[in-house]
């Protein structure tokens, strides 16, 4: 059952990311990827915190499937490289700092929220 949840969740998460990233211009896409990764970090923090209240199959389906498909390190990496390649080094560094900083902060907030709920 876990494999099915991961597969369905991965498809759903990937389609959600594709839909959001496709809804913005090429210039705005790196910022959408930042938002997607931060939102995914928030959600994963929440899932981890309430994890004991979920079956292992559901927890894995959401964490690995949905959120694994939704967030993306490879696109983030290529976006940063693209900004450097285009001569926008400051923007590239800003994307890195905001992605990592906000991602960790969001994961912590999600975890705290999950602990309060669970």
Instruction: With beta carbons less than 8 A apart as the criterion, state whether 10 and 72 touch.
Output: no
Is residue 31 very low, low, confident or very high in pLDDT (cuts 50, 70, 90)?
very high
| pLDDT for res 52 | 86
* Domain spans in the chain, listed from the N-terminal domain onward: 2-117
What tokens were used for 86?
A: 């285009």
Give the separation between CA 7 and CA 25, rounded to whole angstroms: 29
Give the separation between CA 113 and CA 96, rounded to whole angstroms: 25
| pLDDT tens-digit map of 46-97 | 999 998 899 999 999 999 999 999 999 999 999 999 999 999 999 999 999 9
Q: Distance between the two ends of the chain, CA-based, in angstroms? A: 24
| pLDDT for res 118 | 77
């Amino acid at each position: 059952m876990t494999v099915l949840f991961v597969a369905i969740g991965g498809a759903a998460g990937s389609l959600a990311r594709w839909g959001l990233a496709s809804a913005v211009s090429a210039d705005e896409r790196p910022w959408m990827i930042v938002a997607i990764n931060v939102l995914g970090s928030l959600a994963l923090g929440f899932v981890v915190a309430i994890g004991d209240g979920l079956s292992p199959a559901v927890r894995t389906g959401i964490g690995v499937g949905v959120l694994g498909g939704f967030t993306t390190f490879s696109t983030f990496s290529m976006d940063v490289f693209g900004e450097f390649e285009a001569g926008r080094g400051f923007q590239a560094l800003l994307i890195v700092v905001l992605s990592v900083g906000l991602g960790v902060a969001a994961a912590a907030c999600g975890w705290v929220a999950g602990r309060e709920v669970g």
